[in-house]
């Protein structure tokens, strides 16, 4: 077999792309990267890109943070790998569990480790199923999420994900229910106020519980801000409207903080930004600043106690992963938490978030084809529309967001197309000049694409 010569051809020959627009990659070729410099990444041809997607939301300290790399190297030298089975785990694992409970909104709790956010959400569902069955409620297996929610790609977490592309896998599984997406701008009815929209979604939740039976529902999962659904903050008062309903029916509330957690919204946790207290938190991505694949289920006091009682009854929790609580991953996570919280990264997000919003709003105001700006902290989306007044989207065949993202890439800016939106979620180390560079290249790309298709 003759081996392809270029990096792009080699990538195409031997790699199966995930979540990739194939017409674009066939036309343009893959971008093959060699290294990073702060918030920039560099490809095999020496081209430099400002990565306004933080890798995949996760490289919050940039791509060459020496302290994080040194923490990994030191732990590899000291104790390079172990598991968390059979009552054995590394000291780094113990210290990280202590730290995660300490920085969580819970007074106390327990932590269970996975290799990704998808696995953490799967694990949480299994915990709920096991818990309810042990308490004499084996019918409590149904899971409530929302349309446009993204909770992962494993079979259970994909069933929780309210995206139509999962239909190609024959998903969701039975027993997974997707409620209305809390996106007022897109799904509010004519003449419906935002408060009325929120009240309607609360009624829908109550009616769903009554129809299905509270005694059949295992839990409710929600991202504080929907990330991969297109950066969709909740409508005004959303969590304050639905939490009392869920509490009344004793339905556990799980905050999926895979994207929102550790500073992305301006607070340590997205549930703090939107002022609600969950029963458990799902963490990943920023947990290790992208340097190690890790997820964590952080259980609050009540679920910790109930699950511990269930485990004691059968003398074990029969679930886990070979690399759960990996000592190198835990060492990196401990350092990452310190970097975000104590090296000015979280503070930088809080300080520059208003500037980011103002810059993007100015771009929207100057464009005839940006219908909505939405977001919080360092996570924002611009929604492209054919007509602002009617919110009419562009024809899907135009692949408008993909065109914008590709044009941005040509200009040296990486951003993410989602539906007809462009998502910007830069690393927490972004400076004001780098933010201005992001604005300039984004607006240039928008103007070029809209001139072609509008």
- The band of 1, judged by pLDDT with boundaries at 50, 70 and 90, is low
Q: What is the mean pLDDT of residues 169-184?
A: 98
Give φ, ψ of 51 to 5 degrees: -90, 95
Q: What integer pLDDT is reported at residue 163 of this predicted model?
A: 95
- Domain check: are 77 and 210 in the same one? yes
Residue 244 lies in a domain: yes
Give φ, ψ of 171 to 5 degrees: -110, 155
Which of 217, 226, 158, 200 is closest to 425 using CA atoms? Answer: 226
Looking up residue 400, the CATH number of its domain turns out to be: 3.90.1150.10
Q: What integer pLDDT is reported at residue 2 of this predicted model?
A: 76
- Domain check: are 134 and 208 in the same one? yes
Q: What is the mean pLDDT of residues 275-301?
A: 98
Query: What percent of the chain clears pLDDT 90, i.e. is strictly above it?
Result: 99
Cα distances from 358 to residues 347, 363, 425, 435, 439, in angstroms, run: 18, 9, 15, 11, 11
Q: Domain residues for 137?
A: 69-342
pLDDT higher than threshold 90 for residue 282: yes
pLDDT higher than threshold 80 for residue 326: yes
pLDDT tens for each residue of 102-111: 999 999 999 9
Q: What integer pLDDT is reported at residue 3 of this predicted model?
A: 78
Contact yes or no for 97/86 (Cβ under 8 A): no
CA separation for the pair 69, 35 (Å, rounded): 13
Find all residues with CB under 8 Å of 290, minimum gap 6, and list them.
Answer: 54, 55, 56, 58, 59, 60
Contact yes or no for 146/179 (Cβ under 8 A): yes
Rounded to the nearest integer, the mean pLDDT of the chain is 97
What strands lie across the sheet with 33-37, from one edge to the other?
Answer: 33-37, 40-43, 48-51, 413-414
Residue 57 lies in a domain: yes
**Tokens matching residue 18:** 């995930």
pLDDT higher than threshold 80 for residue 327: yes
CA separation for the pair 414, 10 (Å, rounded): 22
pTM beyond 0.85: the answer is yes
Residue 19 lies in a domain: no
pLDDT tens for each residue of 208-225: 999 999 999 999 999 999
Contact yes or no for 3/391 (Cβ under 8 A): no
Residue 76 lies in a domain: yes
What strands lie across the sheet with 295-299, from one edge to the other?
Answer: 110-114, 295-299, 280-283, 253-256, 217-222, 142-146, 176-179
Q: How far apart are the first and last CA of the chain?
A: 46
Domain boundary among 342, 362, 389: 342
- The band of 5, judged by pLDDT with boundaries at 50, 70 and 90, is confident
Domain boundary among 315, 342, 369: 342
Q: What is the mean pLDDT of residues 69-81?
A: 98
pLDDT higher than threshold 70 for residue 83: yes
**Tokens matching residue 442:** 């984004």
- Domain check: are 319 and 221 in the same one? yes
- Domain check: are 203 and 277 in the same one? yes
Domain boundary among 342, 367, 388: 342
pLDDT tens for each residue of 188-210: 999 999 999 999 999 999 999 99
pLDDT tens for each residue of 340-359: 999 999 999 999 999 999 99
Which of 267, 263, 241, 237 is closest to 253 using CA atoms? Answer: 241
């Amino acid at each position: 077999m003759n081996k392809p010569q270029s990096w792009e051809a080699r990538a195409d020959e031997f790699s199966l792309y995930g979540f990739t627009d194939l017409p674009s990659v066939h036309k343009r070729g893959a971008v093959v990267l060699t290294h990073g410099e702060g918030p920039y990444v560099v490809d095999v041809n020496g081209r430099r890109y400002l990565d306004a997607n933080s890798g995949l939301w996760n490289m919050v300290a940039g791509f060459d943070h020496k302290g994080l790399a040194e923490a990994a190297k030191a732990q590899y030298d000291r104790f390079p790998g172990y598991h968390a089975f059979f009552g054995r785990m590394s000291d780094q694992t113990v210290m990280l569990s202590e730290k995660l409970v300490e920085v969580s909104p819970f007074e106390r709790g327990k932590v269970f480790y996975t290799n990704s956010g998808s696995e953490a959400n799967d694990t949480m569902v299994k915990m709920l199923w096991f818990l309810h069955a042990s308490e004499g409620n084996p019918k409590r297996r149904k899971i409530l999420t929302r349309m446009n929610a993204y909770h992962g790609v494993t079979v259970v977490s994909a069933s929780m994900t309210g995206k139509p592309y999962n239909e190609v896998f024959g998903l969701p599984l039975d027993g997974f229910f997707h409620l209305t997406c809390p996106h007022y701008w897109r799904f509010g009815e004519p003449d419906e106020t935002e408060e009325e929209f929120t009240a309607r979604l609360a009624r829908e939740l109550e009616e769903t519980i009554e129809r299905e039976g509270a005694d059949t529902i295992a839990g409710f999962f929600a991202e504080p801000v929907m990330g991969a659904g297109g950066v969709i903050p909740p409508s005004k008062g959303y969590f304050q409207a639905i939490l009392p309903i869920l509490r009344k029916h004793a339905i556990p509330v799980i905050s999926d903080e895979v994207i929102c957690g550790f500073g992305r919204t301006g607070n340590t946790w997205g549930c703090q930004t939107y002022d609600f207290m969950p029963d458990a938190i799902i963490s990943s991505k920023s947990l290790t600043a992208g340097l190690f694949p890790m997820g964590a289920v952080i259980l609050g006091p009540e679920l910790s106690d109930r699950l511990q009682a269930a485990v004691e009854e059968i003398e074990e929790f029969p679930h886990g992963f070979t690399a759960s609580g990996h000592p190198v991953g835990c060492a990196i996570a401990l350092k990452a938490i310190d970097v975000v919280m104590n090296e000015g990264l979280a503070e930088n997000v809080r300080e520059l978030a208003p500037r980011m919003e103002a810059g993007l709003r100015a771009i929207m105001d100057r464009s005839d084809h940006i219908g909505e700006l939405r977001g919080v902290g360092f996570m924002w989306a611009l929604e492209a529309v054919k007509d602002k007044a009617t919110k009419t989207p562009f024809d899907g065949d135009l692949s408008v967001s993909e065109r914008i993202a590709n044009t941005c890439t040509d200009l040296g800016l990486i951003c993410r197309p989602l539906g007809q939106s462009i998502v910007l979620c830069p690393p927490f180390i972004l400076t004001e000049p780098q933010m201005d560079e992001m604005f300039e290249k984004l607006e240039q790309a928008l103007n070029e694409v809209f001139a072609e298709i509008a």
